[in-house]
C-alpha cells in the first residue's frame, strides 16, 4: 500500500491523503521557511496556498513550474531548439518571445580595464566579449549576438553565414599572427 495515497497498486485512480502528506513535511516546510515540494530554503519563497490548515510556500523554481503548467506558452508553434535555455510562459511579453542560448564570455585582458563600480568605490575588471544564439519565435534561423560587458549597449546580430565568415577571418588572422599560413581555416603544410 502507498502511504501517501492509501491505495493498493491495482487501485486507480488513487486519491491523495493530505493528512499523510502534511505529516511528511519537515518542520521548516510546515512553518513556511522551506519549499513544500523540494525543502529548499535557499530560493526566494512564495506562498503556494494551504495544505489543510498549514500555509505552505514554494521556491521560485517550483512556482514557475506550476505557473507554466497553468499558463502554457501558446505562442510557441514548435518545440524549442536544443540549445534554448529559456523557460517560456504564456504571459511572456512579445519582446521576450525568443530562444536564447548559454552566453559564452571571453575577458579581453589586453584592453584597458573598465570601472564596474562607482567613482568612490572603483571595481576595475576586464571588459568581456560575449556571444550567444538568439532566435525570435517567428524567425527562420538563429542569429549570433556579439556584445561586451560595458554599459555602452552596442550589440551586433550576425546571421549564421556572417558569423561563419567572421570566424574564418579570425582563424586566418590567428594563423598569420602565429607565423603560420592558413587557407580557409586550414593550416598549410
pLDDT at position 68: 65
Q: What's the whole-model pTM score?
A: 0.58
Rg for the chain, CA atoms, rounded: 26
As a whole number of angstroms, the distance between CA 88 and CA 71 comes to 10
CA atoms within 13 A on the CB side of 11: 9
Give CA–CA dist 133/61, Å, rounded: 24
Residues of the chain with pLDDT under 70: 1-21, 64, 67-70, 182-189
| DSSP type of residue 58 | E
Ordered by start, the domain boundaries in the chain are 18-70, 94-158
CA–CA distance from 4 to each of 7, 12, 14, 145 (Å)? 8, 14, 10, 49
Amino acid at each position: 500500500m502507498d502511504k501517501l495515497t492509501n491505495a493498493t497498486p491495482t487501485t486507480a485512480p488513487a486519491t491523495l491523503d493530505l493528512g499523510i502528506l502534511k505529516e511528511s513535511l519537515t518542520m521548516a516546510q510546515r512553518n513556511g521557511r522551506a519549499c513544500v515540494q523540494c525543502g529548499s530554503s535557499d530560493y526566494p519563497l512564495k506562498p503556494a496556498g494551504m495544505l489543510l490548515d498549514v500555509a505552505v510556500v514554494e521556491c521560485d523554481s517550483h512556482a514557475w513550474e506550476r505557473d507554466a503548467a497553468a499558463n502554457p506558452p501558446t505562442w510557441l508553434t514548435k518545440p524549442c531548439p536544443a540549445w534554448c535555455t529559456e523557460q517560456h510562459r504564456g504571459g511572456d511579453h512579445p519582446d521576450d518571445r525568443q530562444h536564447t542560448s548559454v552566453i559564452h564570455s571571453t575577458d579581453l585582458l589586453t584592453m584597458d580595464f573598465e570601472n564596474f563600480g562607482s567613482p568612490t568605490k572603483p571595481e576595475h575588471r576586464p571588459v568581456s566579449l560575449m556571444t550567444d544564439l538568439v532566435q525570435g519565435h517567428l524567425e527562420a534561423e538563429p542569429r549570433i549576438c556579439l556584445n561586451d560587458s560595458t554599459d555602452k549597449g552596442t550589440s551586433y546580430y550576425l546571421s549564421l553565414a556572417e558569423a561563419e565568415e567572421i570566424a574564418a577571418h579570425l582563424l586566418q588572422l590567428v594563423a598569420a599572427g602565429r607565423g603560420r599560413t592558413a587557407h580557409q581555416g586550414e593550416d598549410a603544410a
